[in-house]
Structure 1
Amino acid sequence: MPAPPVGVVGLGQLGGSLAAALVAAGRPVQGWDVDPAARDAAAARGVQITRELSGVVVLAVPLTAMAGALDGLTIDPDATVTDLGSVKRPVLESVGRTLGGRYVGGHPMCGTERSGHAAVDPGLFTGARWALCLEPDTELPRWLRVAEVAMAAGAEVVPVTATEHDDAVAAISHVSHLLAAALAAAAAQAGPLALALAAGSFRDGTRVIGSDPAFVRAMVEGNAGPTASALARVHQQLARPWAELVADGHAVVTRQGGRRTVRVPLDRAALLSLGRAGGAVTHRLAAFVEGWVPEDRAPEDRLPDRA
Structure 2
Amino acid sequence: MNVTVIGLGLIGGSLLRALATRGHQVTGYDVSEATRQAAASAAGVENPGWRVADDIPAAIVDAEIVVLAVPLPALPEVMPALAGFTGLITDVTSVKGPVRDLLKGRRYVGGHPMAGKESSSFLASDPHLFDGCAWVLCLEPGETDLDDWLRLAALYTSLGARVVPATADEHDEAVARISHVPHLLAAALSNLLEDNPLAGALAAGSFRDGTRVAATRAELIAAMCGGNAAAVRRVLAAVLEDLDAYGRELTAPDPVQALTPLLRRPGELRRAWPAAPGVPEEVDPGNLLAWGRSGGWIVGVEPRLVGLRPVSGRNDS
**Is 1:264 the equivalent of 2:269?**
no
Cα offset, 1:75, TM superposition: 5.8
Map of 2:252 onto structure 1: none
Displaced runs of 4 or more, over 3 A: 70-76
**Partners of 2:7 and 2:29 within 8 A in 1:** yes
Please give the alpha-carbon distance, in whole angstroms, between the structure 1 residues aligned to 2:157 and 2:215: 29
1:170 corresponds to which of 146, 166, 176: 176
* 184 and 127 in structure 1: CA distance in 2 versus 1, 3 angstrom threshold: same
Map of 1:66 onto structure 2: 75
Map of 1:244 onto structure 2: 261
Give SS of 2:309's match. Answer: strand
**Is 1:211 the equivalent of 2:220?**
no
Counterpart mapping for 1:175-186 below 5 A: 175-186=181-192
Please give the alpha-carbon distance, in whole angstroms, between the structure 2 residues aligned to 1:90 and 1:243: 41
**Is 1:197 the equivalent of 2:202?**
yes
Map of 1:91 onto structure 2: 99
Letter of the structure 2 residue corresponding to residue 228 of structure 1: R
Letter of the structure 2 residue corresponding to residue 225 of structure 1: A
Please, what TM-score do these two structures have when normalized by structure 2?
Answer: 0.85
Cα offset, 1:8, TM superposition: 0.4
1:147 corresponds to which of 138, 153, 167: 153
**Partners of 2:277 and 2:308 within 8 A in 1:** no
Please give the alpha-carbon distance, in whole angstroms, between the structure 1 residues aligned to 2:285 and 2:130: 24
Per-residue CA deviation, residues 33-69 of structure 1 (Å, 9 max, x unaligned), is 1223322333314112232321111000011101222
Letter of the structure 2 residue corresponding to residue 90 of structure 1: P
User: Can you give the 5+ residue segments of structure 1 that lack an aligned partner in the other structure?
Assistant: 298-307
Residues matched between the structures, number: 286
Map of 2:9 onto structure 1: 12
Map of 1:52 onto structure 2: 59
Please give the alpha-carbon distance, in whole angstroms, between the structure 2 residues aligned to 1:164 and 1:129: 15
Map of 1:31 onto structure 2: 28
**Partners of 1:188 and 1:194 within 8 A in 2:** no
Letter of the structure 2 residue corresponding to residue 147 of structure 1: A
**Is 1:108 the equivalent of 2:107?**
no
Per-residue CA deviation, residues 113-133 of structure 1 (Å, 9 max, x unaligned), is 101111111110000000110
Please give the alpha-carbon distance, in whole angstroms, between the structure 2 residues aligned to 1:179 and 1:68: 31
Per mean C-alpha deviation after superposition, the further-off stretch among 28-37 and 166-175 is: 28-37
Give SS of 2:190's match. Answer: helix
Cα offset, 1:201, TM superposition: 1.5
Give SS of 2:104's match. Answer: helix
Please give the alpha-carbon distance, in whole angstroms, between the structure 1 residues aligned to 2:168 and 2:80: 24
Please give the alpha-carbon distance, in whole angstroms, between the structure 2 residues aligned to 1:258 and 1:73: 40
* 228 and 275 in structure 1: CA distance in 2 versus 1, 3 angstrom threshold: same
Per mean C-alpha deviation after superposition, the further-off stretch among 200-209 and 41-50 is: 41-50
Map of 1:221 onto structure 2: 226
**Is 1:289 the equivalent of 2:305?**
yes
Cα offset, 1:231, TM superposition: 1.2
**Partners of 1:259 and 1:295 within 8 A in 2:** yes
Please, what TM-score do these two structures have when normalized by structure 1?
Answer: 0.87
* 40 and 153 in structure 1: CA distance in 2 versus 1, 3 angstrom threshold: farther
* 285 and 37 in structure 1: CA distance in 2 versus 1, 3 angstrom threshold: same
Per mean C-alpha deviation after superposition, the further-off stretch among 157-166 and 48-57 is: 48-57
CA RMSD for the aligned pairs?
1.8
Cα offset, 1:70, TM superposition: 4.1
Per mean C-alpha deviation after superposition, the further-off stretch among 160-169 and 52-61 is: 52-61
Cα offset, 1:73, TM superposition: 5.8
2:270 corresponds to which of 253, 256, 260: 253
Percent identity of paired positions between Structure 1 and Structure 2: 45
Per mean C-alpha deviation after superposition, the further-off stretch among 129-138 and 195-204 is: 195-204
Per-residue CA deviation, residues 1-37 of structure 1 (Å, 9 max, x unaligned), is xxx3111001111001011011111222111112233
Higher-Rg structure is: 2
Letter of the structure 1 residue corresponding to residue 26 of structure 2: V
Cα offset, 1:232, TM superposition: 1.8
Please give the alpha-carbon distance, in whole angstroms, between the structure 1 residues aligned to 2:165 and 2:277: 20
Give SS of 2:280's match. Answer: strand
Cα offset, 1:210, TM superposition: 0.6
Map of 1:301 onto structure 2: none
Please give the alpha-carbon distance, in whole angstroms, between the structure 2 residues aligned to 1:182 and 1:52: 41
Please give the alpha-carbon distance, in whole angstroms, between the structure 1 residues aligned to 2:259 and 2:3: 50
